[in-house]
Each structure stands twice: as structure tokens, then as C-alpha cells.
Chains A and B, each alone.
Chain A
Amino acid sequence: QSALTQPASVSGSPGQSITISCTGTSSDVGGYNYVSWYQQHPGKAPKVMIYEVSNRPSGVSNRFSGSKSGNTASLTISGLQAADEADYYCSSYTSHNDLDVVFGGGTKLTVL
């Protein structure tokens, strides 16, 4: 039940692109395509931005994209905007059972 590993913080200037990594194991990120990414603004509930590794819910900007290689998933945000400043969490289903989800420790994105 170890948390997935994310960098504590990333930053970028408006208009730039950033990538947040999420490293797990073959029992979670590497073994399944059930990786999601959430955006959380202070005092708010998390909002799904990417599901099943690389799919975007309707209404989420195409500036957000997801990918996976081996045991590491990544979230890329292009054309950074001030409103993107938030905490981002990855999550993955695991092999422990059919219901278990593990989260990453979260990454604080600062738009300079």
C-alpha cells in the first residue's frame, strides 16, 4: 500500500509546458492502464483531469495530456495558465484486489 512517488513541486511560466511524473511498481502503475490524474485547488474537492492513463473527460482542456512508460505515468500541461496553479495527484488501481486505489503524494504546481 505504498504511495506512488511524485515530485513535491514543479513550476513554470505562463505559456510554457511542464510534466509531472508518477512512479509506482508493476503492481500498480506498470501493471494496469487505470491511472488517473486529479487537480485540487485549495479548499476544493479533487477534479479528474485524466483517466485510464491518457483520456480526457469532456470539458477538460486539451492542454492536459497523460502518458505512461513502464512503472511511470506522466501528466503534461502545455500553455501554462495562472488558473493551472494547484495541487496534482496521480492514482492507480493495484493488484491487491479489485477495489484498491493508491494515490501519489501530490505535486504543487506554481505558475511563475
Chain B
Amino acid sequence: QVQLVESGGGVVQPGRSLRLSCAASGFRFSGYAMHWVRQAPGKGLERVAVVSYDGRQKYYVDSVKDRFTISRDNSKNTLYLQIDSLRPEDTALFFCARIPKNGDQHYWGQGTLVTVSS
């Protein structure tokens, strides 16, 4: 079955960096665009970054453009999110997700929690 397993979260000090990973299995990872979606405590969902199936196209929400970098390694079936210059407002649960335009095959991981605190 399809699985998306995020890792790499933790408690970090402001200004530090973190790399989140999402290991995919159960489907042809290289055939799909993939998203990172974050949810701050008690808040709603926010798509922060998306990467095309081949890694060539990348889009970010304006608020993270200069600090977040999405990438993927199709040979390892893994999605990444590099987060630099972490801020307290980046504290959130980060989900990786496959959100297709067509069809019902929407898949989400369980999320990895990033807490930015001194």
C-alpha cells in the first residue's frame, strides 16, 4: 500500500537549518508532483512548496521563498525540504502529500513536527 513517511523534525534554535525527508513507497514516485504542507499549532493547512515529477519545476508560497528549498531524489523515492534561517513562526507539523489534479489517489504522511525555540 502507499506510504509516505516524514522524518527530520525536531526542536531547533532560531536561525538554524533543518532538512526534512519524506520516504515514499507503494506507488511510482517518479510519476507524480509532490507537495509539502504545513500546519501551525491550532491553525489550518498551508501548502508551502511543490515540485514537479521530474524535479524541474518548483513553486513556493511567498512567505518562504528565500528560505525553503524543495527537492527530490527519484532514485531513492524520497522528497526533501531544506529549511534555512528558521523562525519561531515556522513551528508547525510538516506533511508531505501527493495531491493529484485528477482522481482520488490523494495521499498524506503523518507529518513531522518542527519546533523553533531558543
State whether B108 touches A99 (Cβ < 8 A).
no
The yes or no answer to B86 lying at the interface (CB within 8 A) is: no
State whether B110 touches A45 (Cβ < 8 A).
yes
State whether A97 touches B45 (Cβ < 8 A).
no
The yes or no answer to A105 lying at the interface (CB within 8 A) is: yes
Question: Knowing A99-B52, A101-B35, A101-B50 touch, does A58 contact B45 (C-beta < 8 A)?
Answer: no
Chain A residues lying within 8 Å of B57, measured Cβ to Cβ, are: 97-99
Q: Which residues of chain B have a CB within 8 Å of any CB of chain A?
A: 33, 35, 37, 44-47, 50-52, 57, 59, 61-62, 95, 97, 99, 101-104, 106, 108-111
Q: State the Cβ distance, A65 to closest chain B Cβ, in Å.
A: 15
Chain B residues lying within 8 Å of A91, measured Cβ to Cβ, are: 45, 99
In Å, the complex CA distance between A3 and B97 comes to 18
Chain B residues lying within 8 Å of A3, measured Cβ to Cβ, are: 44, 46
In Å, the complex CA distance between A89 and B59 comes to 21
Question: Knowing A97-B59, A100-B50, A103-B45 touch, does A45 contact B108 (C-beta < 8 A)?
Answer: yes
Of chain A, the residue at the smallest CB distance from B60 is A1
State whether B104 touches A48 (Cβ < 8 A).
yes
Q: Which residues of chain A have a CB within 8 Å of any CB of chain B?
A: 1, 3, 34, 36, 38, 40, 44-48, 51-52, 55, 57-58, 87, 89, 91, 93, 96-106
Q: State the Cβ distance, B45 to closest chain A Cβ, in Å.
A: 5
State whether A102 touches B47 (Cβ < 8 A).
yes
Could you list 24 examples of A-B contacts with CB < 8 Å?
A3-B46, A34-B101, A34-B102, A38-B45, A38-B106, A40-B45, A44-B110, A45-B110, A46-B45, A47-B108, A51-B104, A52-B103, A57-B104, A57-B106, A93-B101, A96-B59, A97-B59, A99-B51, A99-B57, A99-B59, A101-B47, A103-B44, A103-B45, A104-B44
